[in-house]
Amino acid sequence: MNTLLVLMGPTGVGKTELSLQIAEQLKSPVLSADSRQIYKQMTIGTAAPTDEQQKRVSHYFVGILEPEDYYSASQFEEEAVPLIENLLQTVPVVVMTGGSMMYIDAVCKGIDEIPTIDEKLREEVYALYQKEGLDAIRSRLKILDPVFYNQVDLKNPKRVIHALEVCLMSGKPYSSLRTNPRKERNFNIVKIGVTRNREELYGRINLRVNKMIEEGLVEEARKLYPKRHLNSLNTVGYKELFEYFDGNCTLDFAIEKIKQHSRNYARKQMTWFKKDKGIKWINLSDNTSDVVEKSIRLITQSNP
């Protein structure tokens, strides 16, 4: 059976270069499972594959949407799965890499049938959030879906707002739509997780943020500042610089916050990934001279 190789791991671990090396050896295309690299104008802050890297290997789902465009994990599933099936008619292996946990799960497991949110409704809910704060959103969610209200992280505006949007859009409790289906795929799936020792990973994250600043992240964020209300820009690297532009902190403070929030996100990603017992892990802090060959062996061993 043809294979989807899913290469995952925390931010800053080195997924991009490793995916390129594996894809080059296997003559495979690469799909990005990154909920922010899919947008244009955000190349530096999302560490999107460069033009040079994209010339080495064919890439999909990189820089194809405007920041204003709505996109979700369910849409990614709808578009990525048939694309993978089509690509596997001409190549034996497709590589998918990224750190967006929901996007990876959407392809590997399937995702609930959550309705697409009407833009007008989205604007109304956001206006309520802006005017009355998160407490108002929580209160409405508690009435419409007390079950999910007791499950969700009530300090996470993105999740609370999305749940309320779904309730209002569907006329049903969000919790009733979250059935967690497991969908069968017409291809074999091999999951490889890459990690590093914590101290090394955090050092790489800090250095990567410094490199982003050198490459022009501040200027990139400034151009996007008029669109700061968009969900696509509620992203580490941009939201901290928006605070700097607002005069709420110094640039040095904003940069340190980007590093801190990136490290926090890496921990969150690892917590999520470790729940999946089907992932085969490779520690890149160890001898990595044969990591590409090791990854290819894992594909062979996992094929039925």
What does the alpha-carbon distance between residue 294 and residue 297 come to, in Å, rounded to a whole number? Answer: 5
Please state, in angstroms and rounded to a whole number, the distance separating the CA atoms of residues 80 and 22.
Answer: 20
Strands 280-283 and 93-98: what pairing? unpaired
pLDDT of residue 219: 98
Dist. CA 169–CA 210, nearest whole Å: 42
In tens digits, what is the pLDDT along the chain, a chain of 304 residues? 599 999 999 999 999 999 999 999 999 999 999 999 999 999 999 999 999 999 999 999 999 999 999 888 889 999 999 999 999 999 999 999 998 988 999 999 887 777 778 778 888 998 899 899 999 999 999 999 999 999 898 988 888 998 999 999 888 898 888 776 678 899 999 999 999 999 999 999 999 999 999 999 999 999 999 999 888 998 999 999 999 999 999 999 999 999 999 999 999 999 989 989 999 999 999 866 688 887 878 777 766 5
Q: What is the DSSP letter of 117?
A: P
d(CA 32, CA 299): 19
Q: Which residues pair with 193 in a beta bridge?
A: 8, 281
Q: Which tokens sit at 256?
A: 């340190």
**Which residue in this structure is represented by tokens 């596997």?**
88
- Decide if 15 contacts 9 (C-beta within 8 A): yes
Per-residue pLDDT tens over the stretch 249-275: 999 999 999 999 999 999 999 998 998
Domains along the sequence of the chain with CATH = 3-111+181-302 (3.40.50.300), 119-177 (1.10.20.140)
Contacts for 281-286 with beta carbons within 8 Å, 24 or more apart? 281/192, 281/193, 281/194, 281/195, 282/192, 282/193, 282/194, 282/195, 283/194, 283/195, 283/196, 283/197, 284/13, 284/14, 284/18, 284/194, 284/195, 284/196, 285/195, 285/196, 285/197, 285/200
Q: What is the predicted pLDDT for the residue at 180?
A: 66
Contact status, residue 165 vs residue 121, Cβ threshold 8 Å: yes
